[in-house]
Structure 1
Amino acid sequence: MNLNMNKKVFISYSWGNKEHQEWVVNLGKRLMSNTVLTILDKWSLKDGHDIHEFMESMVKSDDIYRVLIICDKNYKEKADGRNGGVGTETQIITPEIYNNQKQEKFIPIVVERDENNNPYLPIFLSSRKYIDFSNEEFFEDSYEELLRNILEAPAIPMPKLGTNVPLYITESVINNTPTNSIIRTLENQIKKHPEKINSYSSDFLDAFLDALWEFEFKSNAYDIDTFGEELFNNLISYKILREDFIQFLNITTKPENNLDVDELINFFEKKLIYNRPKDESTSWNSNNYDNFKVIFQELFLYTITICLKNKNYSLVGDLFHSKYYFKSNYGQIETKRFTEIYEYHQNIENYILRKYNRSSGFGHFVITNLSDKVSKNDFIFADTLCHYIGELFSNGHSLDNWFPATYVYKETGNNDFFEKMSSERHFNKVKNIFDVSSIEELKKLLKDYSESKNGKNRTGYGRGYYIPFIHELIQVESIGQNR
């Protein structure tokens, strides 16, 4: 595909608060790094320049291919009321939209919605197609849509007119990956032969592991920014395969299917094999296998999230408390807990901190690339629960823990898992997660943990942002007191 690079865009926005300004600047920096010459007042408007003349020249210039209008509540109010710089800019843009310019030059970028989930669009843009950036977990999808628009590289280009009649009957024209082929028949096969679920699951997971090698990361970059961007893009590229895995979990982890937890444990035990190349006949760089470390951690979080969603608490408990026999491709066996799947991903952390000024690189990646098959709050809760169970059973070993990298993205509207612990029925459903058989055992576990943490600092991100202890979320004495 021949891309139309070196396009010039102008970003129109209302200054608003510091966080909003930073978001706009980061968008501009990202576009610049992806070959789009971006005109933004923060770096394009010099001292002494006439602000109104600058705006007008940007809007009317033939050199400006796109005008990106960042729409939030503040921008809408100023545009509709013709207030301030935004109001002046609106008076310049409005006739350009209706009279002079091609319809596609002005692109609304929605970054905020009202209480009814309606986008904040000024009146003069209310009927225009916009790109939705209002959900942070789908940022990467929205950014790709924007970049494709600017570079004239549509995700689904118009196909060429064919010259041959398709062979619908005699030949199949569908080309699927092995995992996708298995997924399309898995649910029906399990319904017909429920006793074969573990065999079907093993077939899928083996096919998935084979397909994962197609995403082996090879980079010759030495600087953080270039290497980080290549790593980030590699991780995004495997999303299609990841969605097959998530669909597999949605089907197989329903309690009635009786999936053997060993199928999942055996899958995650393969993690160490992906710490080095499949073929070691040539030299290799260990950093090039960081993507697989991120992938296995992300997939474990999706596994816990979907098991919880399916209320398969027994499976969650087994995943938390079973031993994992990690086998390297040198044949060595390491017996570890589930926390071995967690890692601090130095390269992705450094890249995202420098690129987006985010305190959690892994958290930023997984939340902005979240599957639409799970909710953000459920995913964050699963990550947090991994942290709590990791700590409860770490025996004081600081390296045997799980840091909840996504917790910083937690919103209001808590998961009610802990609040329901006062219900005896709820306790009996989830007790396997805590590896206890009685209410008194759980109370003792939490009390002992509370005493061990007395006077110690909470886990956190710095800057005063900390994660509460689990005994602060569960009223220990009220566990199981209600029916």
Structure 2
Amino acid sequence: MSKEHPSVFISYSWDSEEHENWVTFLAARLRENGVDATIDKFETQSKTVNLNRIMVEKIKNSDNILLILTENYAKKADTFQGGVGYETNLLIRYIKDNPDKIILIMRHKGDYRKAVPFYLEGFHFIDFSDDSQFDIKFDELLHRIFQVDVMDVPKVGAKPKLEPKKIIYDRVVNGTTDIIPNFKEITDLDKNKFMKQSYAEILSHLSDFAEQTRQKNSNFDFEKDNIHNQKAIIRFYINGMEKYAVKIWLGNLFGGGSQNIYLSYGRFNIDSDSSFNDVIECEVTKTKDLKLKMTMNSMTGNNTSDAYGVTVEIWKKIIQYLGY
């Protein structure tokens, strides 16, 4: 777990006034976002200091060292010139035992190899070369500093039950394969397991669609409330005002063996599950496979049969009411 205010030391070469201003701006943005970032200018503006001593202390004690890679930085590092050269002497030994503390920031357009010192070849860098992509790359940098994954990596699921298929010579020809019976039985337990999995997948896809919409639209937001493991409500906001909501739950309102997935749209009482707008049922095909069947309103008669296809139809209805 990272610190609340991780410390970061930024190493760079004095290429130009524009480049120094960019580095200063980066340090300031980091500090505004909870990172104790420092550069040489912050240390020297109010007192007389030994820069070499500062370099040693900051490299040793900071949680991360940011190296701003430019062609001039690489030249100074490879020839051990100036402050960059002094830091290179320290980092060559230090990086072997502390590679995760080093974060490379690329500020060079063209052949990136010209901006990478010899001892850093092959290391990953965050590319800040295109200023129009600054916010995206800055977000990636914050995730790295605070040790939060940029991408939510799914957990490894259970091993599927796999069996080798027997090689059978099928002598049934001329469209008469339906005379070979299939005695496989689909139980209520099979249906309920299928519907529980489908419910979880539909809810996950809806969250993904909403998250992608939020990333694309700054005035859009949503909240997902998991009432329990078989019922959730997602509320959608435009400019901070609730525009629409969908409640999705798993149950069986009319008794019987297998469960259904129910959906209610608009504003409603979350404690009442007696009314709904759409029902998703489990259907058994002629080949004894399980698929989803949407049975009410405008979704009736569509050809979707899996969780993703069903979610697309649900999402189309939601964004219609959001004014899309």
Match among 90, 93, 101 for residue 92 of structure 1: 90
Give a deviation string over 1:296-343, Cα, whole Å, max 9, x none. xxxxxxxxxxxxxxxxxxxxxxxxxxxxxxxxxxxxxxxxxxxxxxxx
The Cα of 1:180 is off from its aligned counterpart by 5.3
Q: Name the counterpart of 2:126.
A: 131
**Whole-angstrom CA distance in 1 between matches of 2:95 and 2:218:** 47
The Cα of 1:131 is off from its aligned counterpart by 1.0
**Whole-angstrom CA distance in 2 between matches of 1:148 and 1:142:** 10
The Cα of 1:59 is off from its aligned counterpart by 1.1
Match among 171, 185, 192 for residue 198 of structure 2: 171
The Cα of 1:96 is off from its aligned counterpart by 0.7
Q: Is the 8 A contact 1:55 1:89 kept in 2?
A: yes
Give a deviation string over 1:23-62, Cα, whole Å, max 9, x none. 101100010011100121111235321111111111122x
Q: Name the counterpart of 2:41.
A: 42
TM-score, normalisation: structure 1: 0.35
The Cα of 1:11 is off from its aligned counterpart by 0.3
Distance 1:152 1:97, change over 3 A: same
Q: Is the 8 A contact 1:14 1:74 kept in 2?
A: yes
Following superposition of structure 1 onto structure 2, how do residues 267-278 of structure 1 map, counting pairs within 5 Å?
none
Structure ID, larger Rg: 2
Q: Does 1:105 align with 2:132?
A: no
Identity of aligned residues (%): 28
**Whole-angstrom CA distance in 1 between matches of 2:149 and 2:40:** 29
The Cα of 1:157 is off from its aligned counterpart by 4.4
Q: Is the 8 A contact 1:4 1:152 kept in 2?
A: no
Distance 1:25 1:180, change over 3 A: same
Q: Name the counterpart of 2:135.
A: 140
Q: Which has the higher helix share?
A: 1
Q: Name the counterpart of 1:365.
A: none
Equivalent pairs counted in the alignment come to 191
Q: Secondary structure at the match of 2:15?
A: coil
**Whole-angstrom CA distance in 1 between matches of 2:150 and 2:14:** 32
The Cα of 1:142 is off from its aligned counterpart by 1.0
Q: Secondary structure at the match of 1:11?
A: strand
Q: Secondary structure at the match of 1:70?
A: strand
**Whole-angstrom CA distance in 1 between matches of 2:208 and 2:40:** 48
Letter in 2 for 1:31: L
Q: Name the counterpart of 2:147.
A: 152
**Whole-angstrom CA distance in 2 between matches of 1:275 and 1:153:** 28
Distance 1:5 1:178, change over 3 A: closer
Q: Is the 8 A contact 1:113 1:119 kept in 2?
A: no
TM-score, normalisation: structure 2: 0.50
**Whole-angstrom CA distance in 1 between matches of 2:152 and 2:208:** 26
Q: Is the 8 A contact 2:13 2:72 kept in 1?
A: yes
**Whole-angstrom CA distance in 2 between matches of 1:59 and 1:38:** 12
Letter in 1 for 2:98: K
Q: Is the 8 A contact 2:65 2:103 kept in 1?
A: yes
Q: Secondary structure at the match of 2:115?
A: coil
The Cα of 1:214 is off from its aligned counterpart by 3.5
Following superposition of structure 1 onto structure 2, how do residues 39-78 of structure 1 map, counting pairs within 5 Å?
39-45=38-44, 47-61=47-61, 64-78=62-76
**Whole-angstrom CA distance in 2 between matches of 1:178 and 1:34:** 27
Q: Is the 8 A contact 2:95 2:102 kept in 1?
A: yes
The Cα of 1:73 is off from its aligned counterpart by 1.1
The Cα of 1:167 is off from its aligned counterpart by 4.5
Q: Name the counterpart of 1:7.
A: 6
The Cα of 1:65 is off from its aligned counterpart by 0.6
Q: Name the counterpart of 2:19.
A: 20
Letter in 2 for 1:29: A
Q: Is the 8 A contact 1:8 1:36 kept in 2?
A: yes
Distance 1:136 1:161, change over 3 A: same
Distance 1:6 1:81, change over 3 A: same
Following superposition of structure 1 onto structure 2, how do residues 280-429 of structure 1 map, counting pairs within 5 Å?
none
Q: Secondary structure at the match of 1:171?
A: helix
Distance 1:169 1:28, change over 3 A: same
Structure 1: runs of 5+ lacking an equivalent: 184-206, 217-273, 280-483
Distance 1:163 1:85, change over 3 A: same
Letter in 2 for 1:109: I
**Whole-angstrom CA distance in 1 between matches of 2:92 and 2:84:** 12
Structure 2: runs of 5+ lacking an equivalent: 161-192, 223-237, 244-324
**Whole-angstrom CA distance in 2 between matches of 1:276 and 1:157:** 26
